[in-house]
Structure 1
Amino acid sequence: MNESLGVAGQPRRHGAQITAHGVTFNLWAPSAGSVELLEIGQAPRRMPRDEQGWYQALSSTARAGTRYQYLINGELAVPDPASCFQPDDVDKSSEVINTPAFRDADPYPGRPWSEAVIYELHVGTFSDEGTYAGVENRLDYLRDLGITAIQLMPINDVPGRHNWGYDGVLLYAPNACYGRPEDLKRLLRAAHERDMMVYLDVVYNHFGPQLNYLHSYAETFFTDRHTTGWGPAINLEGEHGAFVRQFLIDNALMWLRDYGFDGLRLDAVHALKDRSERHFLVELAESVRRQVDGRRVHLMLENEANEAHLLERRDGRVVLYDAQWGDDFHNALHVLLTGENEGYYRAFADRPLQHLARSLTEGFAYQGEAFPLHDGPRGERSAHLPPEATIFFAQNHDQVGNRALGERLAKLVSREKLQQAMVLLLLSPHIPMLFMGEEAAAETPFLFFADWTGEAADLTHEGRRREFAHFAAFATPETRDRIPDPCDARTFAASKLDWRGLDRSEVSRQFHALTRELLEIRRANILPLLTEGVVRARAELLNPRDGRAGGLHVQWLTAQGRVLQIVANFAEQAVLRPLLVEGENLWGAEPAKGHLYLHPADILVRLGSSG
């Protein structure tokens, strides 16, 4: 067997690999009868096939910058599924990119996970330029704010001019709309020079609905044994599943080793259906931990299943994944702040105060209980995990963008409640994440947008309206007509951050100053608690009304006997204040002698000792 294909049928590398003798082109196409290499400027070259369905050809004329495609069965020209760049969109020729040459001789070591303050952004809407360079131009702003890690929404290539990135069809190719691969590498180096980490959101659970050619030559890349909400499930099981698993793991390693990303956030891993003895998520994490040495690399999950076993620690060290997005915290907090109870908020509207309390003290609100939105239980016990095992947020791309009109929290609640949420988010011991513009109370919407054409565009347009038909605010055709068309270019344009407006707004300047102050308090006072280690947490509800409103009193105790105390009132009337620990106020006015109440939207943060 050709050495480049590995042993026992396990492929070693997908895509175009630069060698001393030219470029080796590799394509796993088990469903294809024939494959030809279409190297621009050269005659078509038939590629021989091995027994596993691999096609390979060595070209002595190809080099970095060479354009190429594959011709399937003599009739369909397709890009390389492991293409590292598509200069002219996803259905055109691929370009050979020497990504290993991007590796730094002296790699940035990263920062401890406990220091992570994450800023999620969409490259295309974060800046006026909508490019990697546009992000780079704002790095000083983010560093001075107190951000230690930026997280890019998916940048893998998708059809058209704009997309959230979660409907990618070429997972190895950074979207050309944002710049060349070299521009992406320059952004990472610029961030690292400022001691800022860069994380990447990756999608391994499905491919987009348009211009995905894998079905044409690799039918077993997918399986009908499982289903997802986005179409056929990725095949992670059996002999053919081994090739798919390696395709995805190699992708993760490329981002981490070649580009130098400091971590990955894996999207919706509950949709990775795998009954193998060794689950794909375990293999992926173990491969990363084994093959990326000498650097701190952080792995994060979005996981509706609340699987605590993926977040376990051994002797205080992460085994597989550092943390999971804390949707339970967000959903409970959102219900308390807004009173909304439709859609997925329905599962938290019964007892939002109790759900919030359990999230703050144990990570997950649902830990095996029946879940109202689907049959059966949801979640695993998580109270033994440290606070750093959950990433908390008051807003993110999903929770804003999946609203019909893309409203941010600043459009939905008072300034007092917005401030209360920010204090709770940034001064709790969980890892905080901000969504771009949140630090300055941005009010520009973030809408769902794509650039599909034809039937895909029509289905998306109509599907978006049907999705909200059961919401009271969109119960009639007339109200649903207000929902922006995702494939209208104006929807994308409306989602761009308005930096000039933020600079002119006094409210935005005040919230920016608030965020900066809170992050400095976090650095000076909360981070040392994480270093000591939180060993116990407890919460009590203050004047609750059936768990729907009232106050919340939470305490976290460290191994050194220090206590972090947060008291917040989410009710519309005053609540009795609990006994405060001896110590100092980190946030909120020191209560006057004899003052026993917290007013609506009040929040008090204290640091003291259990002694």
Structure 2
Amino acid sequence: MAEQTRRHGSQIVDHGVSFNLWAPTARSVELLEIGQPPRKMPRDDDGWYQLLSPTAHVGTRYQFRINEDLVVPDPASFFQPDDVGAPSEVIDTAALRDSLIYPGRPWAEAVIYELHVGTFSEAGTYAGVEEKLPYLRDLGISAIELMPLNDVPGRHNWGYDGVLLNAPNARYGRPEDLKRLLRAAHALDIMVYLDVVYNHFGPQLNYLHSYAENFFTARHATGWGPAVNLEGQDGSFVREFLVDNALMWLRDYGFDGLRFDAVHALKDDSERHFLIELAETLRSQLAGRHVHLMLENEANQAHLLERSNGRARHYDAQWGDDFHNALHVLLTGEDEGYYRAFADRPLEHLARSLTEGFAYQGENFPLHQVPRGEPSAHLPPEATIFFAQNHDQIGNRAFGERLSRLVRPEKLEQAMALVLLSPHIPMLFMGEETAAETPFLFFADWTGEAAELTREGRRKEFSHFKAFATPETRAEIPDPCDERTFQASKLDWTSIDQSPAGARFRALTTQLLTIRREKIVPLVKRGFVSAQRDLIGADPRMGGVDVRWRTEQGEVLQIVANFADHELPMPPLVEGESLWRLRGSEAEALVPGDIIVRLGQKG
């Protein structure tokens, strides 16, 4: 399939720059090129305004004026050097492409480290991340995942409320600095993934409604308002825009994969769902590389993760929220909010996630009283990404507490061993490898009404929790729009580097990842053909699990874990090699917090 020709945004051509804006509900559009008089842009029947400027070049700044009144940036801008409301800059993203393309690594080798560029280092820049790459390589990390880079208003933001999807946030550096980060990572054989958001746009300085009302549709609703329009003729332009965005990150910048945020909110009744078109287009356009496509999907749609001849047809994996939620209940005892759906049978939910990927596969989901999920037992373990912590599960807590502030060290170690030594793809959140205690709070830099709505929405979100039942307790929740909330979320590397406890946990992480690389990854590559699970103990809320996976060659990987606060009887262990024993001896009983990982052979 030939490479698609991008129509959105500014395009470098032989005799200048072609400017393109899809504005079907605008009456007129003018190009405001800095240093040149305003020029009216002609329109075609599909609502495209296009103009070739012979005076423009790479580095030119420009805006559009809508209906002789509203001045806006290019919605397909490739860079906003002075924030989203200021002029856009012409960038030749094709010039960023490498002549020698990094091929990536097989999916089975992925060990993902999620980070937020603005809080990962003191500098809060791409260069700050680049400085830590040797550290991450030595730890055993094979892929970093950057939280969204698309530009948002203000000085800091998680990135999930972007308004200019093609423009990497100038707060972190220029496009060339981002490319330098990827090249440095690839030189160390570290893949780089990016989190992208296609289900909604942010609340401030999003001008699409002013000239492209058809970009959204009232036929479907989401938690963020009207859905992005993916249907019909108008929807085809939107789909093209989003596919172009994905191709830009993967082809021009050289990202090795994308994580698509909350795809259950991508409402599409078309004969060919947008998610299928997106995956098929990306895999066709980027054939020959290891490109990994990941989903966050509350709907647990196993059909998006199907394999053909051992390879993902569309998407490599989905974030394993079911696993996380069940594990969190077992570790902390918390049962409010979304944990309520896992608090009745956390052991069963955990064991089913370990052996079948999803805990909910069509059963009634207690929080919504509707069926959730599709059967997933036929999928391989690597079709789900497992974690004990991530940006959501930490940042969506009122005070952004990490597990290191919620559970004892031995439980933290048990969770780390389970995540890193299971055959599912593991993911760590920045600082987790050192048991860091700095919070990761929800932060944004909105102003005016948007800021007030965000504050009130944050407090209302926790009004159903016992700890925040009164206005006084809710008032203690950090203000997301306060600069101090952002600053408090930065990793304190000085403290981490000087912490004996952090050093011990970092050594544990490195040891576990060495075992994974040498013993678990080869099994994942050979492929598992079956899995079985048993619960240990009589209490369905607090006991142990005995899980086994078998390869076609008869190899058996066994994980036994005790989440109770008392000893449990030892189940039969497979004959073979002991890969890990967290605590306890060869005694017959499983002590609290114990986890055993063995590799044997079944005749």
- With structure 2 as the length reference, what TM-score do the two structures score? 0.99
How many Å separate the matches in 2 of 1:106 and 1:385? 34
- Tell me whether 1:604 sits opposite 2:596 in the alignment: yes
> SS of 1:607's equivalent?
strand
User: Is the contact made by 1:30 and 1:218 (CA closer than 8 Å) also made in structure 2?
Assistant: yes
User: Is the contact made by 2:584 and 2:594 (CA closer than 8 Å) also made in structure 1?
Assistant: no
Deviation at 1:293, TM superposition (A): 2.3
Q: Of residues 319, 323, 326 in structure 1, which corresponds to 2:313?
A: 319
Deviation at 1:478, TM superposition (A): 1.6
- With structure 1 as the length reference, what TM-score do the two structures score? 0.97
How many Å separate the matches in 2 of 1:570 and 1:275? 44
How many Å separate the matches in 2 of 1:380 and 1:440? 36
Call closer, same or farther: CA 1:74–1:524 in 2, change over 3 Å. same
User: Is the contact made by 1:17 and 1:25 (CA closer than 8 Å) also made in structure 2?
Assistant: yes
Call closer, same or farther: CA 1:592–1:517 in 2, change over 3 Å. closer
1:236-293 Cα distance to aligned partner (Å, 9 max, x none): 0011000000000000000000000000000000000000000000000000001112
- In the alignment, what sits opposite 2:407? 413
Q: Of residues 11, 18, 31 in structure 2, which corresponds to 1:17?
A: 11
- In the alignment, what sits opposite 1:112? 106
How many Å separate the matches in 1 of 2:287 and 2:335? 46
The worse-fitting range, judged by mean Cα deviation, of 33-42 and 470-479 is 470-479
Q: CA RMSD in A?
A: 1.0
- Tell me whether 1:75 sits opposite 2:69 in the alignment: yes
Identity of aligned residues (%): 75
1:21-100 aligned within 5 A: 21-100=15-94
- In the alignment, what sits opposite 1:478? 472
Q: Of residues 438, 448, 453 in structure 1, which corresponds to 2:432?
A: 438
> SS of 2:49's equivalent?
strand
User: Is the contact made by 1:544 and 1:551 (CA closer than 8 Å) also made in structure 2?
Assistant: no
Q: Of residues 559, 580, 584 in structure 2, which corresponds to 1:587?
A: 580
Deviation at 1:295, TM superposition (A): 1.0
Deviation at 1:12, TM superposition (A): 4.3
User: Is the contact made by 1:557 and 1:564 (CA closer than 8 Å) also made in structure 2?
Assistant: yes
1:477 counterpart letter in structure 2:
P
- In the alignment, what sits opposite 1:3? none
Unaligned runs of 5+ in 1: 1-5
- In the alignment, what sits opposite 2:271? 277
Q: Of residues 566, 569, 581 in structure 1, which corresponds to 2:562?
A: 569
User: Is the contact made by 2:584 and 2:590 (CA closer than 8 Å) also made in structure 1?
Assistant: no
User: Is the contact made by 1:159 and 1:211 (CA closer than 8 Å) also made in structure 2?
Assistant: yes
2:591 counterpart letter in structure 1:
H
1:609 counterpart letter in structure 2:
Q
Deviation at 1:13, TM superposition (A): 1.6
Unaligned runs of 5+ in 2: none
User: Is the contact made by 2:583 and 2:595 (CA closer than 8 Å) also made in structure 1?
Assistant: no
Deviation at 1:589, TM superposition (A): 6.7
Deviation at 1:608, TM superposition (A): 0.6
Q: Of residues 311, 330, 333 in structure 1, which corresponds to 2:327?
A: 333
User: Is the contact made by 2:127 and 2:181 (CA closer than 8 Å) also made in structure 1?
Assistant: yes
Which 4+ residue blocks in structure 1 deviate beyond 3 angstroms?
A: 589-593
User: Is the contact made by 2:583 and 2:593 (CA closer than 8 Å) also made in structure 1?
Assistant: no
How many Å separate the matches in 1 of 2:266 and 2:24? 22
How many Å separate the matches in 2 of 1:351 and 1:590? 25
1:130-145 aligned within 5 A: 130-145=124-139
Deviation at 1:413, TM superposition (A): 0.2
User: Is the contact made by 1:363 and 1:383 (CA closer than 8 Å) also made in structure 2?
Assistant: yes
Call closer, same or farther: CA 1:590–1:477 in 2, change over 3 Å. closer
Q: Of residues 476, 496, 502 in structure 2, which corresponds to 1:502?
A: 496
- In the alignment, what sits opposite 2:376? 382
User: Is the contact made by 1:334 and 1:394 (CA closer than 8 Å) also made in structure 2?
Assistant: yes
How many Å separate the matches in 1 of 2:390 and 2:588? 36
1:249-288 aligned within 5 A: 249-288=243-282
1:359 counterpart letter in structure 2:
S
How many Å separate the matches in 1 of 2:504 and 2:446? 39
How many Å separate the matches in 2 of 1:240 and 1:98? 27
> SS of 2:219's equivalent?
strand
1:138-177 aligned within 5 A: 138-177=132-171
- In the alignment, what sits opposite 1:129? 123
User: Is the contact made by 2:582 and 2:594 (CA closer than 8 Å) also made in structure 1?
Assistant: no
How many Å separate the matches in 1 of 2:500 and 2:6? 56
Deviation at 1:315, TM superposition (A): 1.2
How many Å separate the matches in 2 of 1:333 and 1:544? 18
How many Å separate the matches in 1 of 2:457 and 2:584? 52
Call closer, same or farther: CA 1:491–1:589 in 2, change over 3 Å. closer
The worse-fitting range, judged by mean Cα deviation, of 471-480 and 167-176 is 471-480
> SS of 1:224's equivalent?
strand
Deviation at 1:505, TM superposition (A): 1.0
1:322-373 Cα distance to aligned partner (Å, 9 max, x none): 0000000000000000000000000000000000000000000000000001
> SS of 1:324's equivalent?
strand
